[in-house]
Copies of this chain bind each other. A is one copy, B any other.
Amino acid sequence: MKKYKVGILGATGTVGQRFIQLLEGHPQFEVTALAASDRSAGKPYAEACAWKLNGAIPESVRDITVQPIEPPLDCDLVFSSLPSSVARETEEAFARAGYPVISNSSSYRMDEDVPLLIAEINAEHLDLIDVQRQKRGFSKGFIVTNPNCAVVSFAPPLAAIHRKFGVESAIVTTMQAVSGAGYPGVSSMDIVDNVVPYIAGEEPKVETEAQKILGTFADGAIQKADFSVSAQCFRVNVLDGHTCSVRVNLKEQATLEDLVTAMKEFPSLGLHSSPKTFIEVMDEPNRPQPRVDRDAGDGMTITVGRVFPDTVFDYRFVSLSHNTVRGAAGSAILNAELLIDRRII
């Protein structure tokens, strides 16, 4: 199998580290270039990076010299986890220079000509790439994004429901892990024995991204799904794993069993990073829980539980995903695998 050379933009950050960890031993990708801010550039990765994940820095990247975040890099594609302040300009520069940019940043997510992709849900949105290239004058390069980490925790069960019965509206309350804020991110003084009812910029993202993901592609554009989402976002004292409390109103009637079946049967793809089960519906009354369930399917499975009729909406449930794997680096890698599978890369 051909190995693609991979560059990582923002390689020293929390998500950058997760890219490196997940790409270690990957059959299709080999990390050949690491780019980070000026402060890190010029140093060996092992020295530039304050590694925060469990286990050691993979040997294969320890000695790679960190480069400035600008093309050219010695690679076939780049994964980006740049902060949104610099992502917009930099990712465009890479796309223009001919690199496929698979981005975890928020900058381009809502641009009309940029796919906002959950590989299992809206692969047909990849047809936007042609539109994008034409509009922006990219030749070989392009930008594909994956959603906000909280959105990834509830969009899959919502998609399963939407496809079968139509979603009319959804109410989401998130309880998000501290790793979602990067490092150092959330101060311990803010989260020990505490809950914080605010994450800067998060609620609008959670309220808008799902409609685009579940939209339909036709005539060179995405028609957004016509439901509305309400989001209240909280930071809780959890290391990894975003938990969502969800109520949903349907357009068509469905039984509880219908709903559960729709989720369980939502197909996983057969790609390398695909979990065996995309959406796992648990019967135990006290699941899913972030510490216990975030690593399901090596962090790529969405776990769902407490699916019940609701007293105000039609149904309620709880969903959870690993925010730096399925909610960030893992989803981006899966997107890259899909792009190869579709021969777009």
Chain A positions within 8 Å of B, measured between CB atoms, are: 14, 52, 54-55, 169-171, 173, 175, 178-179, 183-198, 207, 228-232, 234, 236-239, 243, 245, 247, 285-292, 295-296, 305-306, 310-313, 316, 318
Q: Residue among A186, A237, A305, A318 with the most chain B CB within 10 A?
A: A237
Contacts of A310 in B (CB 8 A): 230
Interchain residue pairs A-B with the least CB separation, the first 4: A184-B187, A230-B312, A173-B173, A198-B286
Do A313 and B195 touch across chains, with their CB atoms under 8 A apart? Answer: no
Query: For residue A288, which residue of chain B has the nearest CB?
Result: B197
| A189 CA / B13 CA spacing, docked (Å) | 13
Can you list 21 pairs linking A and B with CB atoms under 8 Å apart? Answer: A52-B189, A173-B232, A178-B189, A179-B189, A184-B184, A186-B187, A187-B187, A188-B188, A188-B190, A188-B191, A188-B192, A194-B290, A197-B243, A197-B318, A198-B285, A231-B311, A232-B316, A234-B243, A237-B237, A239-B291, A245-B245
Interface of A is mostly: mixed
Contacts of A313 in B (CB 8 A): 171, 230
Contact A184 to B173, CB < 8 A, known contacts A230-B313, A290-B194: no
Having A191-B192, A197-B243, A230-B316, one finds 13 other A-B pairs with CB under 8 Å, namely A171-B312, A173-B232, A183-B189, A186-B189, A192-B237, A193-B193, A193-B238, A195-B236, A195-B243, A196-B286, A207-B311, A230-B247, A234-B245
Q: Residue among A55, A175, A228, A292 with the most chain B CB within 10 A?
A: A292
| A245 CA / B244 CA spacing, docked (Å) | 12
| A179 CA / B54 CA spacing, docked (Å) | 19
Contact A318 to B187, CB < 8 A, known contacts A178-B192, A194-B289: no
* Smallest CB separation, A237 vs chain B (Å): 4
Query: For residue A236, which residue of chain B has the nearest CB?
Result: B236
Query: For residue A295, which residue of chain B has the nearest CB?
Result: B54
